[in-house]
A and B are shown apart, each in its own frame.
Chain A
């Protein structure tokens, strides 16, 4: 019996290399013979050590032919489906990790969408890179309406549709924010890994499409991206999805910030295997949570990038009514943060991507700083476009506007925003950060010295308002990060000013700062005293 199952007639590689302009397969898929042979390893029987080993052997065999072999061939759809099924249904950590690893490796080795830039540049240097979409390639997403309907009926969905995607995020949010549930079971771990994998898939495709879009400016390239289709699907509540994303990322951040005083075992168990698996879960969980937090940030950044691209396309009238209208993610975040001030600190901390952190800070301020010019809230989005950190600081140099801002949002929030804005600004203007697009002008528009001085003057104005003093005294006592919140604002300005004061140009003097920090620092304080009417030392 086994004989017939295992012995498959050898056959030659199937030839897939033909195809239309945008349907191409690089190389051939795994030959039919190999597919059957590998799939034969995979046994459908359940609950036995044998099937566990068979599954591992199957994953290892796919890995050998598709990743390790010198002539790598992508697995067939059926093989992909099997791996994905193992990933989504198995309960053993070993199998989940192995299939997760394999799926990610396959994703890297065989991108579904990629730029044909190499070939194009050979043919002629002027031609634009072409987008190559492998339509035949398996994807974990199903975006057509029919299949979505089919999958919502059957529980054994082979791929993920828009509503299933939203459900995954909802589940994550529910698990994270329900403190009564100990999220230590394998299901929540697998759910997070599944989410990570799905975002990796979305990201790979979206980045490839975006790089080509930047050269060709064809909106259809972006419109056809899985991310855009997914978000535009009527099967999900878009706003709800964004809120769930935000709640996941905040929940994760809170857990990670407070987590981990060694390993805790709820009960002492004498059984070796179960204790092992509990320990391995306890060790794996923070790792997976960290990864999920990073990946969620990636997803949100992609959505924000998509919002900007869509807006650009709107302006150029490339979009049609079919593209629909979506509230930009940044606005959703701002709304959430405005209504729940406790979230502000979390959101600012969790978004460590400087470009978007600065964007968030600027848009937040632009809501509350009344500009002396004719700009009104009606043109909010336009004014946000050309707002800069420098400009924001300049308005905070004005005592009246500081008073009105502090009335609307607390001085604590202003401090927080300024601190994070300054941090993001520093990161953007540092030479290490490779910025490539819109916001580089925002970071570069003024020298660090000016910024630092304006920081100090804004800080002083804050001190003069009544609200500041009371808040300051309380948070010095109790909030854990109080030191850094206030330290964050002023302290970094000092060495910066000292550098700029002593040498004029920041890049020239970095090397010599170490030795001459003391003296110029004093100078710097004098400068800042003059500029900002006595700091009050």
Chain B
């Protein structure tokens, strides 16, 4: 194939345009064409490209026959590229974690009208004075909640009645009115933070939501825990697909309730483990991208919920379970990278998750670190048949596993093997390699190699 195009290779017209499109690393048209016909699975911007050669056709008519050849060849070339581009389209992370929303539970808060808070009004005939009638008791309480009075009243009494607790929790999780759910959420968060700040304050809360309540709320938002079978949900009813706005208050409530562990342990460690997994999967949904800051906070709070002893066991368990659940594509990298690593715990979790995904990927049941690295080193990245996408994922996972875990200083063998791996990836792949992920691997490896030589 390439021999047919020999006469075009020196054409200055093409030479000037095509390389400029590509990132500057590409040397020239000769490499480009040669590699293009040899390799598969490369992505490229097509649209703008197609226009330019056509413009060239019209502007320059010195050598018509040559150009006719050129344009047909280029057309074919673009067509093929387009085909390949579509093969390769799924290159980004993102899962649909939320399916169709269910209807919120029918909650009847008629007993709210007879709660102690309101009852004291009726008992003393104050209701007419404050404009309260028996049918509108909950509307009156809503007013108190929105204006911040409910918290004041509750703090005077240090007591939250069960019905008030249930009612505010329900508003927070299922209310469609933004102000009500925000206020209900800050009502709970304020109570928790008062308890947290002050050793002497403790609220008698007759009903505290437990983990299953939180899970139930998630289910109603359409949350699906099973990430592997991520079939696209039917988009027929677009009004109810995707997470509910209440997910924001859900995240905040979880954050706050994890922070009061010392006063009010609300979850078992197994439940907290599951919470971490839930948060990781929330990170995987692109629709929640804008909430990443609160998700980070929530993750840190959940991680610090454990006691030290619990954490030693739970960290491993969480890592394994995440590794089993995330799909084997770019999503698994996102799952690793969403663990912030600002504190030692999240750092070690990140390393462990990366390790678990890596071993699951390589299908090792039990393997020593050296064996894993040996397998990785033995991958021939310069061979055409090599699946570079996998190599890329391996590389990033290994990086996270080794560099975020315990210090490498006392493991010289591992350290040396890591460098060999990096050298393989950076030196065996030429800068002109057009396979997808080739340059990503190369750049990443040379960056890491450079960093490791400095430190």
Q: A residues engaging B (CB < 8 A)?
A: 1-3, 5-8, 10-11, 31, 33-34, 37-38, 40-41, 43, 45, 47-50, 53, 57, 60-61, 64-65, 67-68, 93-94, 97-98, 100-101, 104-105, 189, 256-263, 265, 268, 270, 272, 275-277, 279-281, 283-288, 290, 349, 352, 423, 426-427, 430-432, 472, 476, 480-488, 490-492, 494-496, 499, 510-511, 513-514, 517-518, 521-522, 525, 535-537
Contacts and interface: CB of A to CB of B under 8 A. Distances in A.
A509 B292 CA distance: 44
B290 A432 contact: no
A280 B146 CA distance: 27
Of A265, A427, A517, most buried by chain B (CB within 10 Å of CB) is A517
Contact of B140 (A263, A487, A492, A499): A487
B182 A290 contact: yes
A97 B289 CA distance: 8
Interface string B99-118: 00000000000000000100
A283 B243 contact: yes
B40 to A, nearest CB: 18
Contact of B147 (A101, A189, A426, A484): A484
Interface of B: 23-27, 43, 45, 91-92, 94, 116, 120-121, 123-126, 128-132, 136, 139-140, 143-144, 146-149, 152-153, 155-159, 176-179, 181-182, 194, 197-198, 201, 204, 232, 235, 238-239, 242-245, 247-248, 286-294, 296, 337, 341-342, 347, 403-404, 431, 439-440, 442-444, 446-447, 450-451, 453-454
B222 to A, nearest CB: 12
B25 A1 contact: yes
Contacts of A288: 290
A57 B129 CA distance: 63
A518 B120 contact: yes
Contacts of A492: 149, 152-153, 156
A258 B129 CA distance: 28
User: Which 4 pairs between the two chains have the least Cβ-Cβ distance?
Assistant: A284-B290, A260-B178, A484-B143, A2-B25
A257 B92 CA distance: 36
A483 B130 contact: yes
A263 B243 CA distance: 9
Contact of B149 (A7, A34, A256, A484): A484
B337 A60 contact: yes
Contact of A495 (B27, B156, B245): B156
Contact of B158 (A5, A472, A494, A511): A511
Nearest to B156: A495
Given A499-B156, A517-B157, A279 B177 contact: no
Contacts of B130: 483, 486-487, 490-491
A5 B446 CA distance: 10
B126 A484 contact: no
A484 B123 contact: no
A58 to B, nearest CB: 10
B115 to A, nearest CB: 12
A513 B290 contact: no
A38 B26 CA distance: 21
Given A49-B43, A496-B156, A2 B131 contact: no
Nearest to A93: B289
A45 to B, nearest CB: 6
A155 B288 CA distance: 32
18 contacts: A3-B431, A7-B446, A48-B45, A49-B43, A49-B91, A49-B92, A53-B440, A68-B347, A283-B287, A483-B131, A484-B143, A490-B130, A492-B149, A492-B156, A495-B156, A514-B159, A535-B129, A537-B126
Given A11-B454, A481-B146, A484-B149, 10 more contacts: A10-B454, A256-B178, A261-B178, A263-B244, A423-B148, A423-B149, A476-B131, A483-B143, A495-B153, A537-B126
Contacts of B23: 43, 45, 48, 50
Contacts of A522: 123-124
B178 A259 contact: yes
A3 B450 CA distance: 12
B176 A34 contact: no
A40 B447 contact: yes
Contacts of A47: 45
B342 A491 contact: no
Given A259-B178, A499-B156, A517-B157, A2 B453 contact: no
A430 B201 CA distance: 12
Given A7-B446, A432-B201, A483-B140, A494 B156 contact: no
A521 B155 CA distance: 17
Given A1-B431, A50-B23, A514 B157 contact: yes
Nearest to B23: A45
Contacts of B243: 279, 283
Contacts of B148: 352, 423
A513 B139 CA distance: 25
Of A3, A41, A491, most buried by chain B (CB within 10 Å of CB) is A491
Nearest to B245: A260
A296 to B, nearest CB: 16
A45 B152 CA distance: 56
B131 A487 contact: yes
Given A279-B287, A284-B291, A31 B454 contact: yes
B126 to A, nearest CB: 7
Nearest to A281: B290
B288 A268 contact: no
B27 to A, nearest CB: 7
Nearest to B431: A2
A491 B121 contact: yes
Contact of B290 (A93, A290, A472): A93
A432 B198 contact: yes
